[in-house]
Chains A and B, each alone.
Chain A
Amino acid sequence: MGHSVMIILGIESATSQVGCAIGGHEGVLASVHSSRGRRHAENLAPQIEFVRAQARINLSEISVVAVDVGPGLYTGLRVGVATAVSIAFGLGIPMIGVSSLDLLAYPVRHCSKLIVPAIDARRGEIFHANYRQVPGGVQRISEPAVSTPDDLAADLLAHGNEALLVGDGAVRYADMFANLRGVEAAEPSVAYPSAASIVQLAHAKALREEFVSPSELEPVYLRKPDAAEIEQQKRKIL
């Protein structure tokens, strides 16, 4: 792939927001987000058409599709992944998967504390992982996990280091983290992964040729299909 023509379409729909962006070597050319009414499936395709027109790019010029692979809210996540994979399949181009947690850590990469993205996982839980600053960005230093806010708070206390919490999970459970020593919450303005960040992170990955084929891209759920749902199905005899 010639670097001079690399155009990346980034898609982000793993939280209550949905958005997309187009960019490449020149940086982000256009991006859009919407957050009202959880209309991921309705909004995403028109958004792609919009950013394409704003960036004056034909969809056939896109060379890579990057997508937030989660963890996040399952229905929105699937809308983004199904759309992204179909675009890559339809154009015959490779993909780059980006973690939602990486996307949240990226805008606060200049913070020297422990960086902890925390995404609202619903059902009283949070998706999270630990990151630390490294030259040129951040590095994940723990496996992505799903925990209750209580457990995450206990982890942070045990860790002992100063920490920066970022994400809609940090916002939702702000009360539980407010009084922890050394723990600070990031601005709500960076509480959602941005499609522009996907394009930027994917660009770095593309230079390292970290591509996957559409058939290899897997969403990250972190939870087995709802156990309660399965139990209900088993009991539904009469």
Chain B
Amino acid sequence: MTSELTLGIETSCDETAASVVTSENVVLSSVVSSQVDLHARYGGVVPEVASRAHVGLVNPVIAQALVEAGVEPKDIDLVAATKGPGLIGSLLVGVSAAKALSLVWGIPYIGVNHLEAHLYSCFLEEPDLELPLVVLLVSGGHTILVSMEDHLQYSILGQTLDDAVGEAYDKVARYLGLGYPGGPAIDQLAVHGKNTIEFPRPIINDGFDFSFSGLKTAVINYVRQNPETPTEDVAASFQEAVVEVLTTKARKALVNTGAKGLCIGGGVAANSRLREAVFDICLEDGLHSFVPSRAYCTDNAAMVASTGWRRFLEDGPDSLDSGADPNLKLHG
């Protein structure tokens, strides 16, 4: 059996990534060059800084992905790049590079929806996961609860009405003086704290949409009024509120849809408390839980390559005059 190879390229935000994945969903290489240090001094991702960095990094990262996979350019059958959503200047670097390689290597190009790629990140390690599934996609830009009925067929059950969960983490971390990125900082601190403060759980019993803006404000007001409270307790209590909201809604979605299991994806899926809680609720309910390795939760190109191949089989290639869409939505 001959296996087809997809080169995936991801430049939607602050990671420059490339990966080679086989048509059987085997990841031969997954290279991620993070710009986190570059942006940390600004307290967040600065789009122009990110775009400039992608230009210099994208080809070295692709070269590294080919070397690590042990393949030659002539072995690649499809090139896939994230076409949105994301920062437009950054997306265009990856899309331009991918289309150029498609031209000179004489292979098809496909643009990939970054959110769909996150949905598929769990299949990188368990290609045979049984559908239907509920997928909770949580990151710095998105909080989406999805019912995945079949491959490439899904519906959005709910999403955030204001801040994305990762955004709430970043803002709370910044207020607590923990620096950027906020997610890992709060996660590490929370381990040493106790869940002593009863923060609000916004709209926890009300549908599948989320709201984190009020929780973030409640945390900041609390710290203002109680400056003596240990920061680790604030972190632990905030994290507990977030995780309870996320898992309560995910659990309800599992019941409503009759799904066989729950997957999580996106940068916040790397959070240790959320990973533990997802495992626990599924164990209690006798359902399958799947929590990808941290490297496949945060932005990577393996998920882009794998999703690109799936979409290519379904829809065929994209035309070379296609561009990028910073506001691309998720639709099954």
Chain A residues within 8 Å of B, Cβ to Cβ: 39-46, 48-49, 59-60, 74-75, 78-79, 81-87, 89-91, 214-215, 218-219, 221, 225-226, 229-230, 233-234, 236-238
Q: How large is the interface on B (under 10, 10 to 19, 20 to 34, 35 or more residues)?
A: 35 or more
B48 contacts chain A at the CB level, 8 A cutoff: yes
Complex formed: what's the CA distance from A49 to B321 in Å?
Answer: 11
* Bound: A86/B93 CA distance, A: 10
With contacts A75-B89, A237-B171 known, is A225 near B58, CB below 8 A? no
Is the beta-carbon distance between B100 and A45 smaller than 8 angstroms?
yes
Contact pick for A48, options B101, B103, B322, CB 8 Å: B103
Task: Find the residue from B52, B89, B93 having the highest chain A CB count within 10 A.
Answer: B93
Residues of B within 8 A of A85 (CB): 55, 58-59, 97
Chain B residues closer than 8 Å to A46, beta-carbon distance: 320-321
Number of A-B contacts (CB under 8 A): 121
Question: Looking at the complex, which one of B49, B100, B321 makes contact with A82 (CB distance below 8 Å)?
Answer: B100
Chain A residues with CB under 8 A of B312: none
Of the A-B pairs whose beta carbons lie under 8 Å apart in the complex, a sample of 23, sorted by A's number, is: A44-B99, A46-B320, A49-B103, A49-B320, A74-B48, A78-B96, A81-B55, A82-B54, A82-B97, A82-B100, A83-B99, A85-B58, A85-B97, A86-B58, A87-B103, A90-B100, A90-B101, A225-B52, A226-B46, A229-B46, A233-B45, A236-B44, A237-B175
Q: Which chain A positions have C-beta within 8 A of B103?
A: 45, 48-49, 59, 87, 90
Residue of A nearest to B51 (CB): A78
Residues from chain B with Cβ under 8 Å of A75 in the complex: 51, 88-89, 92
Contact of A42 among B42, B62, B93, B321 (CB under 8 A): B321
Q: How far is the CA of A90 from the CA of B175 in the complex (A)?
A: 46
Distance from B39 Cβ to chain A, minimum over Cβ atoms (Å): 8
- B73 and chain A: residue at smallest CB distance: A90
Minimal beta-carbon separation of B214 from chain A (angstroms): 12
Residues of A contacting B56 with CB < 8 Å?
218
